[in-house]
Chain A
Amino acid sequence: MAFTFAAFCYMLSLVLCAALIFFAIWHIIAFDELRTDFKSPIDQCNPLVLPEYSIHSLFCIMFLCAQEWLTLGLNVPLLFYHIWRYFHCPADSSELAYDPPAVMNADTLSYCQKEAWCKLAFYLLSFFYYLYCMIYTLVSS
């Protein structure tokens, strides 16, 4: 049993994953509030998007360094999605993904909601996966 870099990565990701789960829930709530009119879309363009993207890319880098290929493989699709989103936001936008005038469009809103739910599911699953992997690496080595 050894405290390897991989184990460290998993521990860190575990903690950060909790943060991502929080972000995802926050998004879900925010979109719901938008839909029910408690919130102005202008405020919706939230500051949590960039942190989320960076935390997630941090995961990928860590797993790359730790040579956890399977875990990395699981995260790469989302990484690419984030990169795609980042570069497809409105010109010059600092608000990233959510464009206030467009977000209330029924398609966009339901898309964003779905996206938030999917991410929540993904982060939850990865949370347990990291937990498992962490214990596994700790025990096996």
Chain B
Amino acid sequence: MAQPARPPAAFRGQNGAGQQPYSNGPVQNQLMHSSDGQGYNPSAPGSYSHQMPAKVPPHQSSGQYNYSSSQIASQLNNYQGPGQILNRVAPPSGSPVQQAGSVPQVLPPAPQNSAASSAGGFGAAPPGLSSWPYGQAPASHPGGSQTSHLAHVAGTASIHPPSSLPGNSNPPGSYQYAASPGGPPLQNSYMKPASAPPPVTQPLPPLHLPRPPLGPPPVAGPPLIRPSTLTAAAAPPPSSSVPQSLLNSTANREGDAASTASDGSVVQNSYDAIEGGGLMATTHPSPATPNVNMGRNVGYSYPNLPPGYQNTSPGAPGLQAPALQYPDGSKPFHQPPLGPNHLTASMGTLSLQQEGLRPVNLLQERNILPTTILQAPVPNLHEDIQKLNCNPELFRCTLTNIPQTQALLNKAKLPLGLLLHPFKDLSQLPVVTSSTIVRCRSCRTYINPFVSFLDQRRWKCNLCYRVNDVPEEFMYNPVTRAYGEPHKRPEVQNATIEFMAPSEYMLRPPQPPVYLFVFDVSHNAIETGYLNTVCQTLLDNLDLLPGNTRTKIGFITFDSTIHFYSLQEGLSQPQMLIVSDIEDVFIPMPENLLVNLNENRELIQDLLKTLPQMFTKSLETQSALGPALQAAFKLMSPTGGRISVFQTQLPSLGMGALKSREEPNQRSNAKDIHLTPSTDFYKKLALDCSGQQVAVDLFLLSGQYSDLASLGCISRYSAGSVYYYQSYHHKHNPVQVEKLQKELKRYLTRKIGFEAVMRIRCTKGLSIHTFHGNFFVRSTDLLSLPNVNPDAGYAVQMAVEESLSDMQVVSFQSALLYTSSKGERRIRVHTMCLPVVATLSDVYLGADVQAITGLLANMAVDRSVSASLSDARDALVNAVIDSLAAYRSSVLSIQQPGLMAPRSLRLFPLYVLALLKQKAFQAGTSARLDERIFTMCQVKNQPLVYLMLMTHPNLYRVDNLSDEGALNINDKTIPQPPILQLSVEKLSRDGAYLMDAGSVMYLWVGKNCGQNFISQVLGVPNYGSVPQNMTHLPELETAESIRTTTFIAWLREQRPFFPILYIVKDESPLKSSFLQNMIEDRTESALSYYEFLLHIQQQVNK
């Protein structure tokens, strides 16, 4: 176990010593780039230490602040949104005045303390009834955690008030921050430490910004509308008790300074001051002036009434707040951000929602497919929060409105889950180097844009709601080189970010990149000629293999024996070592089998050049894949790394030998197909590999049945990938050769992460139910990924364990800890924030039909393996029926005839029908077993975009491409033809159509297709002379040809695999595959779209 444990442990590691002032500097990315940590250290820290020794609030000189500004801040700030920049307000005005500022502090931006009340009883949500176990809530502890949570909240809240009471006074000055409770920090004040007045005589008041959690968006309303509540809610400083005493002392001093400030108001400030005290000394209080919004707020709520105002409202809130609010059960923390949202949302988007809610009668809408690529729905969050939200390509949820309770989720009959593409290649990725990675102390969540800053020095975790301290280093913002702006740090401005992990995140020194290639060289393999292609591609890309000077590489070949290659330095040519004992495999020599790529490059190139010729005479037909894998595992286990296996037939010798299970006559019999592995040798070996940080990628190039169901386990549990080239042959099937070349190139040169683990955290109340993808699940929320690659997607089913009714938003965070090919330990963090809703219609409104389809496909794969294919198919159909029936019975008030679907789900039946017709799930067809299983592997391992393309291809008419609406990328004009429905009725004989089905493309040319297209694009004189097996478009100098080829090239570029283009004529044999993808049409064994709708309607209306 030790092995597997490593990564996680590391992962969990604490930030560790963060003592250094700020090492961060400059991170690699441009954004962050410039900061000079050094400068910072000297100045700021120094001052800091003087004045602020303890958190105890020193006396403050009130003078520094601007009062007014602070107010503003308080209300507005809450928001972390990027947009809102709280600029600094004017420089500090006179001292006394500022106290008034405290008042604002009091006002908490976040009204929502109420949450506390709700704990109740959500009780165990009943397990889902639907045919899928969507989310069955475990039900185990319905209320437990929640209650605790509430309690916690309450505690803090209560605390808060007290502080205010005694209060007294805090140094007004300090408050600037306070003013912005919710806000993102107003951060004005801190900018220049140097300027800060000398502490000696008068200590400056501490500044802190209380920031409410996400802060209500500035926009609005909340402050205006209910100022009182706001104040009450005021950011609760967590640690009340201590503060009080401090406060008092400070208060006294302040009293003087502050002059007018009333105690109550002051009090709060003081509290804050305590926390932020150190800062104050250094900084100048400069009030924030900020955005328009702020201005507004000010206007509204508390214009310039510092003194009077303070007395009344601030004080009151402080005192009363607890009593008032809590009883109400208002939610303490969370809401702030969203609150406004909702307001604005409901008002602003009213019409939009209406539109979204308007049911669609599927039977009447003929053209339901949008003509452009369907975009992910945008969560109904305040735009400032939404702006920060994670890109849907990386992180997507099936329901962008999260149902409050499991009961509601069960009612909706939709699956709740996430689809992730965590390691996607990104063109812009902020990277942070810092000695301390700021994480929640209890749940270990990384700080993210959706946390709330209670004040300058404390932030509240958005997943577990614990209040954490902001470490000193985090106060400095390397991007702006400003101090005291924790909310503007890149960590808090980017939902996707990468950290350079310090040594606490390593259980061992980062491993070097190690690549081992295992080639099948039996007679059969040599026949296919793949070795040439692979060796040549490898040779060409040797320099592009991701790695550094430590990169190691090795080769093993096998037939009925295993051959190792010694690449020892000094040898004139590679030396082959043959191990024929396949029952008890051993490694013939301890070293020189895996060698440093740079130091032995010539030998390696030699080997790659000679390898294809070495076995041409081989008559050995047996294949000892199992023993070869065992040998490879032994070779790799000290370091970890990647094994790439090329296999061309059913393994027949030694451990892991398989027997053919495919019976051609029964192919169509869905009942007897073998989707489960016949042996668990490969699974166990994969688990061993996983423990040693070794991933196995399988390239299966096989003409006959090779039992991918069994072989695939080796990749599935070791986080590898599977590639399948059916009937690969270098002469008979040249398109496959090109495909292999292109895909192998991508495979070799793409980014790679070693010894990775991925943890997915979600807001308390949600829990992870099941994971889908290639990995080994190490814990309820932790995936062990010996290798991670940019082309792998993952899906997660979630359940609502406890009611979320006291929250307005929930967040999900995935953190991927990996070792880069350069030997750096890095953490890539994605955070997504989604609103919580209480009504069924809202749940439907936010449904993401593509994500739902993707998740259902994953679930269906599991179902086909654990039960049967027909079960899985039924479950898919039932998913549509159940959700539409639930919609009909629970949401629609008027029962209209027809098949009504919410607008968000209007494509649901179509996509499910597409799934049913997809190779993985189609019934009674001639799909070969390996092909079916490969498609299932793809469903599990592909990111959603590609999965959708595989499921529901895009059809374009390409004989009349124009530049209208075209994209311009790199001086190339890429036409964007509209997407057509997949029905033969959309095809016309005078056109040419391109069907993009992900891993394959068909260009169908109609019989009467314009002469222009045929000669200008296909480069042949007439239709009759279009070759039967044409797979390439000629590069012609005509505008039509350029348009078509750039369009196809553009489509190809966007994906990691290489779709073969087939040109299909009416009489061509591929026509049937082309027509098979015409999902809306009827085939022998499957319903047409309209029939499918009728079937669903019948079931729904039952």
Contacts and interface: CB of A to CB of B under 8 A. Distances in A.
Nearest to A93: B680
Contacts of A34: 779-780
A1 B5 CA distance: 58
A115 interface: no
A101 interface: yes
Given A106-B799, A107-B769, A100 B687 contact: yes
Contacts of B778: 37, 40-41, 104
Contact of A107 (B140, B680, B687, B770): B770
B56 interface: no
Contact of B680 (A40, A43, A91, A104): A91
A104 B780 contact: yes
A106 B678 contact: no
Which one of B8, B777, B782 has the greatest number of beta carbons of chain A within 10 Å? B777
A95 to B, nearest CB: 9
Given A41-B777, A104-B778, A109-B780, A91 B676 contact: yes
A42 interface: yes
Contacts, number: 68
A92 B1 contact: no
A101 B768 contact: no
Nearest to B801: A106
Contact of A106 (B676, B679, B768, B782): B768
A106 B138 contact: yes
Interface residues of B, number: 31
Contact of A42 (B138, B681, B691): B691
Nearest to A114: B140
A100 B776 contact: yes
A110 B769 CA distance: 10
Contacts of B140: 110
A90 interface: yes
B136 A107 contact: yes
Which one of B136, B677, B776 has the greatest number of beta carbons of chain A within 10 Å? B776
B82 interface: no
Interface string A63-102: 0000000000000000000000000001111000000110
B767 interface: yes
Contacts of A101: 683, 687, 717, 776-777
A112 to B, nearest CB: 13
A42 B780 CA distance: 14
Interface in B653-687: 676-681, 683, 687
Nearest to A44: B1
B133 interface: yes
A91 B676 CA distance: 9
B4 interface: yes
B769 A106 contact: yes
Contacts of A36: 779
A56 to B, nearest CB: 25
A15 to B, nearest CB: 31
A40 to B, nearest CB: 4
Nearest to A103: B777
A105 interface: yes
Contact of B138 (A90, A100, A110): A110
A40 B717 CA distance: 14
Contacts of A107: 133, 136, 769-770
Interface in A31-57: 34-37, 39-43
A37 B783 CA distance: 11
Nearest to B9: A37
A37 to B, nearest CB: 4
B769 A105 contact: yes
Given A37-B779, A100-B776, A106-B799, A42 B680 contact: no
23 contacts: A34-B780, A35-B780, A36-B779, A37-B779, A37-B781, A37-B782, A40-B1, A40-B4, A42-B4, A90-B683, A91-B676, A91-B677, A91-B679, A92-B681, A93-B680, A100-B776, A101-B776, A101-B777, A106-B136, A106-B138, A106-B768, A106-B799, A107-B769
Interface of B: 1, 4-5, 8, 133, 136, 138, 140, 676-681, 683, 687, 691, 717, 767-771, 776-782, 799
Given A104-B778, A105-B771, A106-B769, 11 more contacts: A37-B780, A40-B5, A41-B776, A41-B777, A42-B4, A100-B776, A104-B771, A106-B136, A106-B767, A106-B770, A107-B769
